[in-house]
Amino acid sequence: MDRYQSEFAFELRTCRWVERHWPPDVDESAGGDRAIVVARQLGTKRRRWDTIVLECDADALRERARFGAKRLDGDLRHVVRNAPAEWTYYRDCLPHPGYSWRYVREAIHEADDRGVLDVRKSGNRIEIRRKWPYPEQWVDRVVAIENKPDLDASAARALGTQLEYDVALGLADEVWVATRKTGDRVEPALFEDLPVEAGILALEPETLAGEVAWYPRSLAVDEPGTRITERPTGGRRDDSAARFEYVDPENKRETRLGIAERAYERGWRSFVETMRPDCRHFELRARAGTQLEPYCAEKERCPTAAECSGNCAEYEPEPPAWRTRAWPIEGGPGKRIQQLLADRRRRRRPGL
């Protein structure tokens, strides 16, 4: 069986390719002041993307690293962004958040615990002072990639609807489809009914050779977006109109930043957090000496994230004796595996 048959295995290869080669067609020796962060399975309540690429300014990314590896959620961002350079009573410097001050106080205490804000008591009053300015522009661009190794007509139809949603909303700067490279003169994905705004990346997962089959258009992230909330089914008796709602640019900007913060925290190696590395059959296999891929010794292949869960009939806990020894990469116990992947994620966050 093709080891990258499943979308999950293919998705991990796409993430790896992106980590090494993004942006496509740019001279890699140019290096310089750009940096990228890759994550997977993130988005909004209504739409989750397979792979997310954050294109960042390298210096700004280092400034973001001062705030730690964990995400800053909306409440924390409200506090660290508005904290002044001098000690001030928090209600005098923070704009009213539009919700109870109680949540603001909780966020202040959390920021204090994390060491990203100076906090002191003056009588009954909580005073705050910023440690560093929050780098508002640490993310320049957000790119979303959908992975479909086998893009047949029906897969393209389903994907087309999702991509139309992305294009209308304009939350990501670019949307792409990554599909398996066929080697044909014209990639078959180009004949499928996908929005012209979406780019197509033809990827050979085994060798990690990628080629742009179609370049995307940049989406209008700074303009109001249109969220498609309902579509007519398109049947003969259905003459209803699609329903939309508008999303203002400020709302989009905050949503993008929220996604970026989560992407920064999770990265793409977080797959191990939803799998069972504590199963005795779970292994991390080094691919081409570098990429660590999950492998199930029982199934003799990369398991999907859904398979490798608490419902797996073949799950067997690792023997307690394993936990007392230092194991090598392949076949190691769960904790060591998690640590290894966390270390790799950390290495991709300059300044941490």
Note the residues at the interface with ligand SF4 (CB under 6 A).
276, 279, 281-282, 296, 298-299, 303, 307-308, 312, 314-315
- Separation of alpha carbons 66 and 239, rounded Å: 54
8 versus 67: smaller Cβ distance to ligand SF4: 8
Burial (CB count within 10 angstroms: exposed 0-12, middle 13-18, buried 19+), residue 49? buried
180 versus 301: smaller Cβ distance to ligand SF4: 301
Q: Which of 141, 154, 151 is nearest to 214 (CA)?
A: 151
Instruction: Establish whether the linkage from the previous residue to 23 is cis, with ω within 30° of 0.
Output: yes
Minimum CB separation of residue 285 from ligand SF4 in Å reads 12
Q: Which of 131, 143, 127, 142 is nearest to 65 (CA)?
A: 131
Minimum CB separation of residue 312 from ligand SF4 in Å reads 3
Residue 225 in tokens: 């977006």
Minimum CB separation of residue 252 from ligand SF4 in Å reads 38
- Separation of alpha carbons 41 and 270, rounded Å: 10
In angstroms, what CA-CA distances link 65 with 45, 79, 86, 346? Answer: 27, 17, 22, 10
Helices of type H across the chain = 7-21, 58-65, 74-82, 90-93, 101-114, 153-169, 249-266, 271-274, 334-347
Minimum CB separation of residue 180 from ligand SF4 in Å reads 23
Minimum CB separation of residue 289 from ligand SF4 in Å reads 23
**Torsion angle (degrees, nearest 10) of CA 158, 160, 161, 166:** 130
164 versus 278: smaller Cβ distance to ligand SF4: 278
Minimum CB separation of residue 282 from ligand SF4 in Å reads 4
Give the number of other CB atoms < 10 A from CB of residue 130.
20
Residue 309 in tokens: 């869960």
198 versus 279: smaller Cβ distance to ligand SF4: 279
154 versus 311: smaller Cβ distance to ligand SF4: 311
- Separation of alpha carbons 300 and 155, rounded Å: 27
Residue 295 in tokens: 């492998």
84 versus 331: smaller Cβ distance to ligand SF4: 331
Minimum CB separation of residue 298 from ligand SF4 in Å reads 4
223 versus 316: smaller Cβ distance to ligand SF4: 316
Q: Say if residues 18 and 145 touch (Cβ distance below 8 Å).
A: yes
Minimum CB separation of residue 297 from ligand SF4 in Å reads 7
Minimum CB separation of residue 157 from ligand SF4 in Å reads 31
Query: Reduced to 3 states, what is the DSSP secondary structure of residue 269?
Result: coil
133 versus 317: smaller Cβ distance to ligand SF4: 317
Residue 106 in tokens: 């909780």
13 versus 281: smaller Cβ distance to ligand SF4: 281
